[in-house]
Chains A and B, each alone.
Chain A
Amino acid sequence: MQYLVSVIHDKRELGTEAERAAVSAFNQRLKAKGHWVFAGGLGSPDTATVIDNRGEEAIFTDGPFLESKEYLAGFWVMEAPDLDVMLELAAEASKACNRKLEVRPFL
């Protein structure tokens, strides 16, 4: 079972050196225990472009699609047998990256 772990942030500044080191160590543990699928940090919402090609022609506009104080700063995709295992991993991840997280299952 795979889960998307979204990293939610509400400040502009990037992660600190210590946070990056903690995330890196956490990722190593994920890989060692077989929970790792993928992860990445994202550029700030200012760097987003919204694409809509549902009509006659593709329209490209300056993003983000939703203006909000909190934004998606990065994500993990993790493998876990059930939500309890997932929540334990997510609690560890939240501590490592020092951010709030949201967990959602893939269909």
Chain B
Amino acid sequence: MNTVDVRAAITRVHHEEWARIVAALTRRFRDLDIAEEAAAEAFANAVEHWPAEGLPPNPGAWLTTVAIRRAIDRLRRETKRDDKEKEAQMSYDEDRPEPSVAIEDDRLRLIFTCCHPSLALDARVALTLRMVGGLTVPEIARAFLVQETAIGQRITRAKAKIRAARIPYNLPSTEALPTRISGVLAVLYLVFNEGYLATGPDTDPVRQELTAEAIRLTRSIRALMPDDGEVAGLLALMLLIEARRSARVSATGELITLDQQDRGAWDAPLISEGHGLVRERLATGLAPGRYQILAAINAVHTSARDMRDTDWSQVVALYDLLARLDRSPIVALNRAIAVAELEGAEPALIAIEQLEDKLVGYHAYHATRADLLRRLGRTEKARAAYDQAHELAGNTAETAYLKRRRDELG
């Protein structure tokens, strides 16, 4: 095996094994910091030795053994900790009753710990990407356009809080499970959206490393909890959005709206996988949650070969269903966009203008309003609305699109 192949193999093993190793070490040593550091050292060791010695027969086991040794070395070095605490970290508490959840996996415990509701959302995101996703601090900082020191501090503080407040390394109780799962999904959806609607001047409009990572993590959670409807729903939603990624931004970096997209450029295998998940959930006959409804809406869009073939009444009906679970004005705004296709721009405009108070700072409100005003021939007002949308939009592809639309009005 040449050096290039070994590098590729290490990257692959890193993807496959990182979370498993961190999780196994966290269970054993009851400390995220020790687990993270030891896992990172084990991989550094692999980078050093594998090119010359070749890959071990079982890379995951090799890395785990090295990581455990490193962790024990560190604990021995740390004379500050008293023996009692050390002992606790070296042993695994077998007496704890296992929660009544069918799936037992260290990685799930790790995810639930990193997404614990008592941590701030930005800390949960950073911690999950580091501990579960295996991204480095500079990678996370780059992806979120935040200083490395800030990300480093977020992770350090979160680990300190987990230790001091004793956030357990456990699966949530059956009663708490649905809320805790939605907490995990919120983190993954945030990561995905930050990749999909990347904000900031001079940045790529789509940061694929984030969308890809969010999908990868959601896939692994789905593998661990295959019967959870919302996990399946979120995965389907991500896949159906990701499938349109390359058709959504032009060669010149401008947003291409749904009606203008080359539907032949959509990723057919991703769409088919997403549709399969939506069908699987429909077949259960269970009431869908938020992500499942959003996935179903995207399934309707991706089933139409042409914008004109879209089943808009179905889309509106799904938004009505969603509005019952989620009273957010953003849901109402998206419903109005579908209403415009079904009933015309005038009723849609009346509907969205009722949302102005709540959405005045949201660029999509102004962009939608501008588009409806344009369709109704109210050029003067449309221009002003495009200007407001342009001013508020943070995504470079969107600002380019809004500018052109405004300029076309003359």
A88 contact set on B, CB distance < 8 A? 173, 176
B89 within 8 A of A: no
Does B176 contact A83, Cβ atoms closer than 8 Å? no
Which of B116, B165, B168, B170 lies in contact with A105, CB distance below 8 A? B165
Does A83 contact B173, Cβ atoms closer than 8 Å? no
B229 within 8 A of A: no
A1 within 8 A of B: yes
Residue of B nearest to A85 (CB): B168
Does A84 contact B165, Cβ atoms closer than 8 Å? no
Residue of B nearest to A80 (CB): B166
Does B172 contact A84, Cβ atoms closer than 8 Å? yes
The CA of A84 and the CA of B113, in the complex, are separated in Å by 10
Does A84 contact B170, Cβ atoms closer than 8 Å? yes
Q: 10 pairs across A/B with beta carbons < 8 Å?
A: A82-B166, A82-B167, A82-B168, A83-B165, A83-B166, A84-B173, A84-B176, A87-B118, A88-B173, A103-B165
Residue of B nearest to A106 (CB): B164
Chain A residues with a Cβ closer than 8 Å to the other chain, count: 12
The CA of A88 and the CA of B164, in the complex, are separated in Å by 18
The CA of A103 and the CA of B167, in the complex, are separated in Å by 12
Does A105 contact B173, Cβ atoms closer than 8 Å? no
What 0/1 readout, one digit per residue, does chain B (115-138) give for beta carbons within 8 Å of chain A?
Answer: 010100000000000000000000
B116 contact set on A, CB distance < 8 A? 83
Does B118 contact A82, Cβ atoms closer than 8 Å? no
A residues lining the B interface (CB < 8 Å):
1, 81-85, 87-88, 103-105, 107
Does B166 contact A1, Cβ atoms closer than 8 Å? yes
- The B141-193 residues at the A interface (CB cut-off 8 A) are 164-168, 170, 172-173, 176
B118 contact set on A, CB distance < 8 A? 83, 87
Min CB gap B123→A, angstroms: 15
B173 contact set on A, CB distance < 8 A? 84, 88
The CA of A92 and the CA of B168, in the complex, are separated in Å by 19
The CA of A84 and the CA of B99, in the complex, are separated in Å by 12
Min CB gap A93→B, angstroms: 16
Residue of A nearest to B168 (CB): A82
Min CB gap B274→A, angstroms: 34
A87 contact set on B, CB distance < 8 A? 118
Q: A83-B166, A88-B173 are in contact. List 17 more A-B contacts (CB 8 A).
A: A81-B166, A81-B168, A82-B166, A82-B167, A83-B118, A83-B165, A83-B167, A84-B167, A84-B168, A84-B172, A85-B168, A87-B118, A103-B165, A104-B165, A105-B164, A105-B165, A107-B164
A103 contact set on B, CB distance < 8 A? 165
Residue of B nearest to A105 (CB): B165
B170 contact set on A, CB distance < 8 A? 82, 84
Min CB gap B31→A, angstroms: 14
A105 contact set on B, CB distance < 8 A? 164-166
The CA of A105 and the CA of B164, in the complex, are separated in Å by 7
A84 contact set on B, CB distance < 8 A? 167-168, 170, 172-173, 176
B167 contact set on A, CB distance < 8 A? 82-84
Residue of A nearest to B118 (CB): A83
Residue of B nearest to A3 (CB): B165
Report the 5 A-B pairs with minimum CB-CB distance, sorted nearest first: A82-B168, A105-B165, A82-B166, A83-B167, A83-B165
A81 contact set on B, CB distance < 8 A? 166, 168
B166 contact set on A, CB distance < 8 A? 1, 81-83, 105
Min CB gap B372→A, angstroms: 42
The CA of A40 and the CA of B166, in the complex, are separated in Å by 24
Residue of A nearest to B96 (CB): A81
The CA of A70 and the CA of B118, in the complex, are separated in Å by 21
Q: Which of A84, A85, A88, A105 has the most CB of B within 10 A?
A: A84
A83 contact set on B, CB distance < 8 A? 116, 118, 165-168
